[in-house]
Amino acid sequence: MNDPQDRIDNQSRRSFVGTAAAVGAGLGVAALAPGLHLIEVSQAGTARSPGEAASNTVRWGMLIDTTKCASGCDACVKACNTENGINETIKDARQGSQWIRKIELKDPKNGREHSLPMMCQHCANPPCVDVCPTGASMKRADGIVLVDRHICIGCRYCMMACPYKARSFVHQPLTEQNPEVPRGIGCVESCTFCVHRVDKGQMPACVEACPEGAMTFGDLNDPASAIAQRLAREPSTQVRADLKLNLGVRYQGI
Amino acid sequence: MHLEQHSRLESGLFYALVAAGGLVTAIGLGAALFMEHSGHVVTGMNNQIVWGLPHVFAIFLIVAASGVLNVASIGSVFGKAMYKPRAPLSGLLALVMLAAGLMVIMLDLGRADRLVVAMTHFNPSSVFGWNVILYPGFFAIVGLYLWMLMDRKMNPYYKPAGLAAFIWRLILTTGTGSIFGFLVARQAYQSAIIAPMFIIMSFAWGLAVFMLVQRAMYGWNDLTLDPAIRQRLKNLLGTFVAAVFYFVMIYHLTNIYFAKQTAFEAFILLEGGIITWMFWGGYVLIGTLLPLFLLYHPDIWPRPLAVCAASIGVIVGAFCQLYVFIIGGQMFPLEIFPDMLVSSSFMDGQIDHYSPSMPEFLLGMGGIGLAFTATAIGVRVLKFLPQDDISKLKSADGHLLD
């Protein structure tokens, strides 16, 4: 389980194998098509083609095993920052963007400690989407909650509404952005589940970077996926389950 | 109230006041431009305290705007003759204060340049989205109402227009309160009492503003408000102030009763430093007890400036109350993991701190400046001075007829 590659769920594997077989059969076509790079085809896996809409048959989710998450380890945070171009320096850390953060918990009754990453929980009923006046906060058909940077007016109402403090407001001009992850001053942003990678059939950067294999990503709707099977087999919790937001991120061990 | 009737000295003073108001507004606009150019990094706001001092100013102006229209409504909807001459001034103040409040809130947006986006993209489930309809609707309905009040030809229609404006303003303030009331995430909000509390707050704050403006206009024109009318208005203000206090008490008592909310209440009422001081000293003492004393002590209220001082106290208390509600409500940490000790790089489990920056303050003052300037010009060029026909209002023994 420790090798990130092992954590690609079963559906991804099946799709990958299927696609790879199709590609193998069509190699002659690929050779005849100028500009078609084999390397891109081989990465496709569960990738969507650019014009294809996200499907509501899929619900992307994440399972985080806090018993494996080491206190003091912030590999997921660093990977997120690198992947999404969050590299600005800001004097007051409270004004900086934190798409994912490590939280240390201690139960005062028994002294038990936990460490876990906290990010957008990709709710099925997201309060941020409900309150957004322009519809910039939106949930994709496959359950990923995003901000449309073109119509976000920077009112921060979604930040008031989010129970997980998962959203950040860009407080200053930005430079050196990742072209695949547009960010902008005056807009709100949050974890996208690395949607640009997921759409290419890859894992979110944090999942790939976790040295303990504490994060499992996959399709909650696919009973054969690793995440769905573990959720069916092992106990897990949703943070602030009382709010009944039906979260895409689940935790174990807390 | 024609321009040619004013003396040169008086005209000079008027232009000086308008220039001063315009300057404050211009400085506010400059501050907004600075914030827009530099980003909100130059403000005291952050990713936990996302709404700051500009929102305190804006929400005061927006709530008081709907409340100040109450004076007109009492005349038009409830048929009280004494309030009818005050309806035009009430309508004017409602329009300029709403415009000023919206200016502040719009210029605080991260992308104020996307105002057109805000007006062309509508999310029906957003309370903010509802307000995008409620605010322009308020301008239109109150504008029509003013027209029907002030144009003799349209006068027969002022009552239905007044009723429409009254209903619209109740919905509008419900919308403003619900911006907070519908928030499930933070301990300070998520309460159904907030919308009606905002309505009663609007009554008190709007009337306090109205009393001050009316007093200034009477003073400017060497007029004195009839004591019976003054008494009626100050009693109404006192009733509203007491009613706000009742709602605030219920809000806090409910929270104290709920075990999950006691830590939040302890922060606001006992341990919140400046927030606690603003609640007890600003809202309770200056904004509630002092005005009630000034308005109801039989030896004090008849004195020339007692009602004015009470009105100022109500407004100071309103700002303190909003600061406690908006800033204090965000300073308290979100309870993401109940019963756990929490720490992180993002102020989880900690009380946040907030120091408003000068641009934020100047932007808020810019809104006050705009409201002041527009009111001064409005009352100068149009007939907004409340003029009472005392003989029709009073019975033979000197009491108000209704």
Dump pLDDT digits (tens) for A216-236.
999 999 999 999 999 999 999
On average, the pLDDT of chain B sits at 92
Interchain contact, B123 vs A159, CB within 8 Å: no
What pTM did the predictor assign? 0.89
Cα radius of gyration (chain A): 19
Task: Tell me the one-letter amino acid at B161.
Answer: A
* Among A99, A115, A124, A114, residue whose Cα is nearest residue A206: A99
Sign of CA dihedral B260, B266, B269, B275: negative
Chain B residue nearest residue A185, CA to CA: B39
Chain A residue nearest residue B130, CA to CA: A133
Q: Hunting for tokens 């003091």 — which residue is that?
A: A72
Report the pLDDT value the prediction gives residue B23, as an integer from 0 to 100: 98
Interchain contact, A104 vs B342, CB within 8 Å: yes
C-alpha B285/C-alpha B358 separation (Å) is 27
Dump pLDDT digits (tens) for A160-195.
999 999 999 999 999 888 999 999 999 999 999 999
C-alpha B331/C-alpha B292 separation (Å) is 30
Most A CBs within 10 Å: which of B184, B335, B357, as the mutation test of the A interface?
Answer: B184
B39: left (phi over 0), alpha (psi -120 to 50) or beta: left
Interchain contact, A160 vs B183, CB within 8 Å: yes
- Across A130-144, B73-87, B364-378, least confident range: B73-87
Contact residues, chain A, for B334 at CB < 8 Å: 163-165
Interchain contact, A130 vs B126, CB within 8 Å: yes
Dump pLDDT digits (tens) for B77-126.
888 888 888 999 999 999 999 999 999 999 999 999 998 998 899 999 99
For residue B302, the SS3 value is: coil
Residue A176 and residue A170 in contact, taking contact as beta carbons nearer than 8 Å: no
- Phi, psi (rounded to 5 degrees) for A147: -120, 125
Residue A143 and residue A122 in contact, taking contact as beta carbons nearer than 8 Å: yes
Domains and CATH numbers, chain B: 3-353+360-382 (1.20.1630.10)
Contact residues, chain A, for B341 at CB < 8 Å: 105-108
Chain B residue nearest residue A71, CA to CA: B344
Interchain contact, A160 vs B184, CB within 8 Å: no
Interchain contact, A169 vs B334, CB within 8 Å: no
Report the pLDDT value the prediction gives residue B383, as an integer from 0 to 100: 76
Write out A63-101 in H/E/C secondary structure. EEECCCCCCCCCHHHHHHHHHHCCCCCCCCHHHCCCCEE
Most B CBs within 10 Å: which of A131, A237, A239, as the mutation test of the B interface?
Answer: A131
- Across A121-125, B214-218, B357-361, B386-390, least confident range: B386-390
Cβ-nearest to B185 among A94, A163, A173: A163
Residue B402 and residue B84 in contact, taking contact as beta carbons nearer than 8 Å: no
What's the token pair of residue A48?
A: 């969507």
- Phi, psi (rounded to 5 degrees) for A105: -115, 145
Count the neighbouring beta carbons within 10 Å of the beta carbon of residue B91. 29
Contact residues, chain A, for B132 at CB < 8 Å: 133
Interchain contact, B352 vs A94, CB within 8 Å: yes
Whether A203 has a pLDDT exceeding 50, the answer reads yes
C-alpha A114/C-alpha B85 separation (Å) is 67
Interchain contact, B109 vs A155, CB within 8 Å: yes
Chain A residue nearest residue B339, CA to CA: A107
Report the pLDDT value the prediction gives residue B381, as an integer from 0 to 100: 86
Report the pLDDT value the prediction gives residue B388, as an integer from 0 to 100: 75
- Phi, psi (rounded to 5 degrees) for A252: -120, 145
On average, the pLDDT of chain A sits at 85
Report the pLDDT value the prediction gives residue B396, as an integer from 0 to 100: 67
Whether A41 has a pLDDT exceeding 90, the answer reads no
Report the pLDDT value the prediction gives residue A208, as an integer from 0 to 100: 96
C-alpha B341/C-alpha B60 separation (Å) is 36
Dump pLDDT digits (tens) for A10-30.
444 444 444 444 444 443 333
Report the pLDDT value the prediction gives residue A55, as an integer from 0 to 100: 86
Cβ-nearest to B346 among A101, A135, A136: A101
* CA of B41 vs chain A CAs: smallest distance (Å): 5
C-alpha B136/C-alpha B148 separation (Å) is 18
* CA of B53 vs chain A CAs: smallest distance (Å): 14
Report the pLDDT value the prediction gives residue B370, as an integer from 0 to 100: 97
All residues at 6 or more sequence positions from B397 whose CB lies less than 8 Å from its CB, including other chains = none
Count the neighbouring beta carbons within 10 Å of the beta carbon of residue B378. 17
More confident residue, B181 or B394: B181
DSSP one-letter code for A49: P
Count the neighbouring beta carbons within 10 Å of the beta carbon of residue A108. 9
Report the pLDDT value the prediction gives residue A4, as an integer from 0 to 100: 40
pLDDT band at B6 (very low <50, low <70, confident <90, very high): low
Contact residues, chain A, for B125 at CB < 8 Å: 129-131
Cβ-nearest to B336 among A160, A163, A187: A163
* Among A3, A16, A14, A2, residue whose Cα is nearest residue A202: A16
For residue B368, the SS3 value is: helix
Report the pLDDT value the prediction gives residue A7, as an integer from 0 to 100: 42
Interchain contact, B341 vs A118, CB within 8 Å: no
C-alpha A230/C-alpha A249 separation (Å) is 13
Report the pLDDT value the prediction gives residue B382, as an integer from 0 to 100: 82
DSSP one-letter code for B47: S
Contact residues, chain B, for A103 at CB < 8 Å: 336-337, 342-344, 348
Element at A118 (helix H, strand E): strand A113-119
Interchain contact, A155 vs B110, CB within 8 Å: yes
Interchain contact, B110 vs A102, CB within 8 Å: no
Residue B87 and residue B207 in contact, taking contact as beta carbons nearer than 8 Å: no
Report the pLDDT value the prediction gives residue A51, as an integer from 0 to 100: 80
Q: Hunting for tokens 């000034």 — which residue is that?
A: B294
Report the pLDDT value the prediction gives residue A9, as an integer from 0 to 100: 46
Interchain contact, A165 vs B111, CB within 8 Å: no
CA-based end-to-end distance of chain B: 28
Q: Hunting for tokens 């905002």 — which residue is that?
A: B198
* CA of A227 vs chain B CAs: smallest distance (Å): 24
Element at B379 (helix H, strand E): helix B358-381
For residue B7, the SS3 value is: coil
More confident residue, A90 or B3: A90
Which residues 114-133 of chain B have a CB within 8 Å of chain A? 114-115, 117-118, 121-123, 125-129, 131-132
∠ CA A134-A136-A137, nearest 5°, is 115
Most B CBs within 10 Å: which of A107, A162, A165, as the mutation test of the B interface?
Answer: A165
Whether B204 has a pLDDT exceeding 50, the answer reads yes
C-alpha B56/C-alpha B142 separation (Å) is 24
Q: How far is CA B71 from CA A177, B37, B246, B382, in A?
A: 54, 41, 22, 19
Which residues 341-400 of chain B have a CB within 8 Å of chain A? 341-348, 352
Domains and CATH numbers, chain A: 50-252 (3.30.70.20)
